[in-house]
Amino acid sequence: MDIAEVAKRTGVPASTLRYYEKRGLIHSVGRDGLRRRFAPGVLDQLALIALGQAAGLSLDEVHAMLSPDGEPNIDRQLLSAKADEIDALIKRLRAVSNGLRHAAACPAPSHAACPSFQKLLKAAAQGIFNTQAEPTRKAPRRTRA
Amino acid sequence: MDIAEVAKRTGVPASTLRYYEKRGLIHSVGRDGLRRRFAPGVLDQLALIALGQAAGLSLDEVHAMLSPDGEPNIDRQLLSAKADEIDALIKRLRAVSNGLRHAAACPAPSHAACPSFQKLLKAAAQGIFNTQAEPTRKAPRRTRA
DNA sequence: CCTTGACTTGAAGTTGACTTCAACTTTTAG
DNA sequence: CTAAAAGTTGAAGTCAACTTCAAGTCAAGG
């Protein structure tokens, strides 16, 4: 497969594939002239990368997981920890979502007057200000799917 | 309150407060010499900003909500939409978390051999690649709480 | 033969939300 | 009074994950 084929099949732009290769996340299996050729396994690797990203891993962390050489060797502790982190994040997000819904539905003319909203703000001030979760990114922002 | 006081009470660094003021998200009520003085209401505003950030709003979006002049005027539709977005995100995150936990616990020697993991990867390839949620940021990354 | 289009490269640019810096002014403690 | 501590400014730097650019290489079709 050439780079365009991989790009088409995965939705990952060619520029990103080159970038990933430079970072050592994927490997091409040779050149056809000067064009990279990719083995089909790269599709799985890219899926794994996407999964990692969705889980909030940095590319470096993902790299560590499939690094040694061939197939993914996975750091189970890290995965567990990340899962915990995600669960904590989910909790906070649920609170935020509820808060937003309340704010959206609240009939009070000014939100200053709404006690629930006040409570929410207070929780935000407490909980959010002190949140230590790292900058987990959710979704790969894809501009040109 | 001077800037240090606000910083201490909210955990938001002074540099960030100045930045927010420059962007029009908060306002100082005057100067004490050349030092800004803040009204206590700024604490609520900062809580609202933190809430918005946790909800994945950009600073511009947050700005729109408390913009007109004084108190927050809230775009209920936007809030609802954001809540929906967050709920969708939660769903995806839950799937990812489960996936991670499985991967962490899976006894298969190579994950290539584990059908559940394969399934997860497939889902990742399908679901994550096509996810269109915008780059919602979860938690304000605070380096020096 | 020569243009077109797909690929190559390294380097530089983008985005959002900040942080850091240098140079300076003020307030405050001793 | 004086020096340190805290505040001020605009400009520039940072970070991650890419994207875009300029300039070049190459295979194939007309």
Question: What pTM, to 2 d.p., does this model score?
Answer: 0.77
102-141 of chain B touching strand D, CB 7 A cut-off: none
Q: What is the CATH number of domain B3-64?
A: 1.10.1660.10
> Is the predicted pLDDT of residue B140 greater than 70, yes or no?
no
CA of A139 to C1' of C16 (A): 16
pLDDT tens by residue, B45-88:
898 898 888 888 899 988 988 755 555 667 788 888 888 888 88
- pLDDT exceeding 90 applies to what percent of chain B? 30
Residues 6+ apart with CB under 8 A from A144: A13
Cβ B12–A129 below 8 Å, yes or no? yes
Residues (20-59, chain B) with CB within 7 Å of strand D atoms: 22, 34-36
Task: State pLDDT tens for residues A36-79.
Answer: 999 998 998 898 898 888 878 899 988 988 755 555 667 788 88
pLDDT at position A112 is 60
Token output for B124: 């990742």
How far apart are alpha carbons B31 and B107 in whole angstroms?
64
Q: How confident is the model at residue B112 (pLDDT cuts 50, 70, 90)?
A: low
Domain boundaries, chain A: 3-64, 76-125
**Phi-psi category of residue B56: left, alpha or beta, with phi > 0 → left and psi -120 to 50 → alpha:** left
List of residues 6+ apart from B43 with CB closer than 8 A:
A125, B6, B9, B10
Q: Using the CA of B2, which nucleotide's C1' is the nearest one?
A: D7
- Mean pLDDT over the full length of chain A: 77
Does residue B37 sit in helix, strand or coil?
strand
